[in-house]
Structure 1
């Protein structure tokens, strides 16, 4: 499982729309070979069809699509947006962190979600993710 590793993180990302932010986070996974390019577009289509359900907590979005849309390996990328973006989730907007999630089966999906929830359940860790300027700043959080 590839979970928020250095090659799939980006900081101070400039994006102006939710779709653009989802593509940046998704393309980190696609460019590393963990998912197909079509998976990235499936994440965007899922957001456009289903709305801001992917905004899972204040300032945090977790786009994903179905495994059959092109996942090779369980993976989670993270981008930190320079300027937060409104996704349309009134209680949780604007979004500052986007975690693109890829899982090839339901067991992996649960494993990835558990790791992410453990990380996001730690208020101090989340604050560090919001303010980090490089992977070095968060390396010890990603266990």
Structure 2
């Protein structure tokens, strides 16, 4: 069982915040990773560069982007950020835009990156949990839904 308290501390959350565009949305997710001590600002730039190079493949489900980049020296620890936007933004993914939830993922190495990604993906493929997560009002509520 994944310890979401360790990977997703209170400092990782920004709920119902505005974003001007997809870059701003990723930057907000990156800011929460930095605030939680998981990454440096350089990782945020790497997440944005990944989308610029690879396209909006990070928009993995309707309304949901999993912002990440490869493990690098900019990753200080494995963790997540959770940014729910007050107004959805377009990432350029016709099937799944607009995005209202941006989850930032930082992994120290490939194994930890995949471990956290699979734990979060398990919760996000459940339509009922996804609906509950969209309405969750506190970090504790989000973690409880992910843990269930």
Corresponding pairs, count: 143
Aligned partner of 1:130 in structure 2 is 134
Q: Tell me how far apart the structure 2 counterparts of residues 139 and 36 of structure 1 sit (CA, whole Å).
A: 24
Residue from 8, 20, 26 that aligns with 1:4: 8
Residues 1:115 and 2:115 aligned together? no
Residue from 76, 91, 106 that aligns with 2:110: 106
Aligned partner of 2:67 in structure 1 is 63
Question: Please, which runs of 5 or more residues in structure 1 have no aligned partner?
Answer: none
Question: Please, which runs of 5 or more residues in structure 2 have no aligned partner?
Answer: none
Aligned partner of 1:93 in structure 2 is 97
> Which stretches of structure 1, 4 residues or more, deviate above 4 A after TM superposition?
none
Alignment RMSD (CA, Å): 1.5
What SS class does the counterpart of residue 16 from structure 1 fall into?
A: coil
Residue from 32, 41, 58 that aligns with 1:37: 41
Q: Tell me how far apart the structure 2 counterparts of residues 82 and 133 of structure 1 sit (CA, whole Å).
A: 13
Q: Tell me how far apart the structure 2 counterparts of residues 115 and 102 of structure 1 sit (CA, whole Å).
A: 13
